[in-house]
């Protein structure tokens, strides 16, 4: 599966086109520019003055593996310089990593705040955005638009709980966020994963979902067992015959299926699909059998 570009989707990006490319700014995709880190400075009015070194290093390690998923936001502070509006931790972690450039939204003026809010709200209501793109848009509206979660809810016609749950998705590790953006897991899966506080356990569950094609209900059961202190059922290696059966079924259905078997010989076959069209194609194949 081809991975999507990180950051906001093209619907939101198209509203806020970045500056024309210069020697230090390269336009990547609509609305997001790759800006030389050395041309960016922190906001002196930023209330946070100290940054935890260990947390920054963890973020740097994450960026090294997955890149900067959510662009920072900057404003012009000179002919060829920029000041951070939001995202200083991402900027510091990228600098720590030794990156030359970082993806950023460029605000040309402070008085375009109303346009930003109106544009993002309009696109949230009409564009087919994935859950991470929606959460990123909410975060931008809060950070740059100066909205509270309650005010944001009124703007987009959502209740406070919906806004809060959406924003929580940004607390997932980058690996899981990318999986959600690519459609490898659903928002229901993500919410189940978030009910675990331990990041290692979250990644363990995520890996299990991908490997076994678990449904949201099965994921909820697995998370519940972990919370109750029960270990997941032991994974049994498939025999050569079972692998051949899995391959035959996959070939027949023209899609990758997952076959799992327990110690007692029981098990299940999972047939994943990405959309209604793929489901219809699978059903049509069964009709011919």
- 8-state DSSP, 269: E
3-state secondary structure of 3: coil
3-state secondary structure of 186: coil
Just list the catalytic residues.
Answer: 88
In terms of DSSP H, where are the helices of the chain?
10-13, 53-66, 88-97, 113-126, 131-143, 149-156, 160-168, 174-181, 187-194, 199-212, 216-227, 240-253, 276-288
Half-sphere exposure of 274 toward its Cβ, with a 13 Å CA cutoff?
A: 9
Total residue count of the chain as it appears in this document: 289
Share in percent of the chain as helix, strand, coil (round to 5): 50, 15, 35
């Amino acid at each position: 599966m081809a991975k999507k570009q990180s950051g906001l989707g093209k619907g939101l990006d198209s509203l806020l086109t970045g500056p024309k490319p210069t020697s230090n700014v390269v336009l990547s995709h609509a609305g997001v520019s790759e800006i030389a880190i050395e041309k960016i400075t922190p906001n002196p009015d930023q209330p946070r003055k100290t940054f935890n070194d260990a947390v920054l290093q963890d973020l740097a390690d994450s960026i090294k593996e997955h890149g900067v998923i959510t662009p920072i936001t900057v404003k012009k502070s000179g002919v060829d310089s920029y000041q951070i509006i939001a995202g200083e931790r991402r900027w510091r972690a990228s600098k720590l990593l030794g990156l030359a450039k970082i993806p950023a939204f460029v605000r040309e003026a402070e008085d375009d705040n109303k346009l930003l809010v109106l544009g993002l709200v309009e696109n949230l209501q009409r564009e087919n955005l994935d859950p991470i793109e929606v959460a990123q848009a909410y975060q931008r509206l809060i950070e740059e638009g100066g909205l509270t979660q309650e005010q944001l809810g009124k703007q987009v016609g959502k209740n406070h709980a919906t806004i809060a749950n959406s924003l929580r998705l940004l607390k997932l590790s980058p690996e899981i966020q990318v999986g959600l953006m690519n459609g490898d897991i659903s928002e229901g899966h993500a919410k189940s994963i978030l009910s675990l506080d331990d990041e290692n356990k979250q990644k363990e569950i995520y890996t299990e979902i991908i490997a076994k094609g678990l449904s949201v209900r099965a994921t909820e059961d697995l998370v519940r067992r972990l919370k109750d202190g029960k270990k997941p059922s032991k994974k049994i290696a498939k025999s050569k015959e079972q692998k051949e059966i899995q391959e035959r079924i996959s070939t027949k259905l023209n899609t990758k299926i997952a076959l799992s078997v327990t110690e007692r010989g029981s098990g299940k076959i999972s047939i994943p699909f990405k959309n209604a069209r793929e489901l219809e194609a699978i059903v049509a194949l069964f009709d011919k059998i």
